[in-house]
Amino acid sequence: MVAPQNPTPAGGPPLAQGPADPEHDPTAAYALEPDYVAGLTARLVATTGRTVAVHSPLDGAPLAHVPQSGDDDVADAFARARRAQAVWARTPLDERAAMLLRLHDLVLDRQDEIIDLVVLESGKARKHAFDEALHIALTARYYARTAHRHLDTRRRLGVVPGLTRVEVNHVPKGVVGIISPWNYPFTMALCDGLPALLAGNAVVTKPDAQTMLTALLGARLLDEAGFPKDLWQVVAGPGRELGGPIISRSDYVCFTGSTATGKIIAAQCAERLIGCSLELGGKNPLLVLRDADLEKAAEGAVRASFSNAGQLCVSTERMFVADQVYDRFVERFVARTQAMTLGATLDWDNDMGSLISQDQLDTVVAHVDDAVAKGARVLVGGRARPDLGPFYYEPTILEGVTPDMTCFGHETFGPVVSLYRFHDETDAVARANDGEYGLNASIYSQDGHRARSVAREIKCGTVNINEAFGATFASIDSPMGGMRESGMGRRQGAEGVHRYTESQSVATQRLVRFAPMLGMSDETYAKVMTANLRLMKKLGRA
């Protein structure tokens, strides 16, 4: 799958043969088979004739020319999706769940193919790419196995015992628009859409341009699992061009990305009175309490800070460590960071891969250089590594970061973490809650009860105890999302599927009506109803 191939001329059709000679021009060698990529890009709804070149952040090698969509393509995608959804909504729930279980098996069977493509497009370490296949398999299996628990019609209490029958249905919203990011291209391309499909919806998705091929592989696997092809539409293009057309046609919008963009999307959804779920930015804290297991905390801190080169919404960027253990923890954390194996390859050996782009590298460089210029100390890292890859930056630990430094309160989204001492846990919690974000937090302590008590004070949508982020993220039955400017709505769990449905109450009334009967006056009716309310309270009825 990854053998070098002849290049595509700029602006030409996807992977057409071109004049460049890989023997004399290494950058001309495509990292993917042309036929393989052509099969993936054929899944796009894209008729503009324009293409965008995609290169691997590993070494700059070209991957493909991805066809681009226009407004007419978005309209066509939604039209196809609506026709498919009308049929799909009548498909038995067990059949939908069975397709998710087939997807589960396909993802596990094809994980090498998935991981290769994720690494080639994103530059992340192979072990972090495996997390994506793992998460989608978990998500597919969870929603398949819990389909009836979440979506079956349920009886509720009626106002008149025995005479009022109330049922609540979960009706699909229709067509869900999903705008997904580049940092976890397989996970984010699919995880939000799977419960939408289970609930009877269709999906139109616009993955990020930098990782379009991985998202298209996900669409191919959905087809192979048996989902109707028109049910999952994929368009490609800049968010500034396609975001508006998608939102204007969606019945619900799911977005993962920056807080600034999320606010724009929320305003556009409000104009149409449609719902949205938004997972946005974070400046996530990790607290090492005085009774923490320091080896476990240092190991977790490495994963919390440097997984996917810090390009993870729930990644730690601020670390608060108790005075009593600060020096011992820092010694262990620095040593583990220095021992990391760095590289930008397809191998399993790398502990951290590359940043994805020049823009991400520029942000990381700017944040670290600004901090150092204003007096911060670099304990490890602090420099780009072009010898490893064009966008590679070392895992970096900073000490002495102050509020006047950019990285103090702004999300870096790279392999950079700042260390802070604390003496009083109340002060640590207040500092962890400082700012407007509230996505993820971690607490290390050997006293579980105490740590859970501290967790309730943290203003974050997820809090992990003695773990970096995996405990909450991989526990699909629990909701995941942000507080404050880190977002609204939740993925995973019951909330993750119910967001794509409308609750419909259906009440059947027998014998009595809610109006005077048998010649009763309105005044008498009011007295009878009042007496009934008092009786129901005495009987303990809700």
Catalytic residues: 279, 313
CB-count burial class (<10 Å; 0-12, 13-18, 19+) for 284: buried
Query: How far from 293 is each of 58, 113, 329, 338, 426, CA to CA, in Å?
Result: 36, 38, 9, 20, 20
Whole-number Å distance between alpha carbons of 439 and 485? 9
Q: Give the E-state strand segments of 337-489 in sequence order.
A: 377-380, 396-399, 416-422, 440-444, 462-465, 487-488
CB-count burial class (<10 Å; 0-12, 13-18, 19+) for 23: exposed
3-state secondary structure of 292: coil
Whole-number Å distance between alpha carbons of 334 and 321? 14
Q: Which residues, at least 6 apart from 139, have a Cβ–Cβ distance to it below 8 Å? A: 190, 191, 194, 195, 476, 492
DSSP 314: T
Run of H or E residues at 169: strand 164-172
DSSP 154: E
The total number of residues shown for the chain amounts to: 542
Query: How far from 425 is each of 8, 78, 226, 288, 319, CA to CA, in Å?
Result: 58, 52, 53, 10, 13
Cβ(81)–Cβ(231) under 8 Å?
yes
* Helix 126-145 and helix 93-109, axial crossing angle in degrees, nearest 10: 160
Query: How far from 220 is each of 50, 51, 87, 232, CA to CA, in Å?
Result: 22, 20, 20, 10
- Give the type of residue at 300: G
Q: Give the E-state strand segments of 245-315 in sequence order.
A: 252-256, 275-279, 284-288
Run of H or E residues at 151: helix 147-151
To 5 degrees, how large is the angle CA 362–CA 366–CA 368?
120
Tokens standing for 508? 């059947």
3-state secondary structure of 79: helix
- Dihedral pair phi/psi, residue 287, rounded to 5°: -110, 125
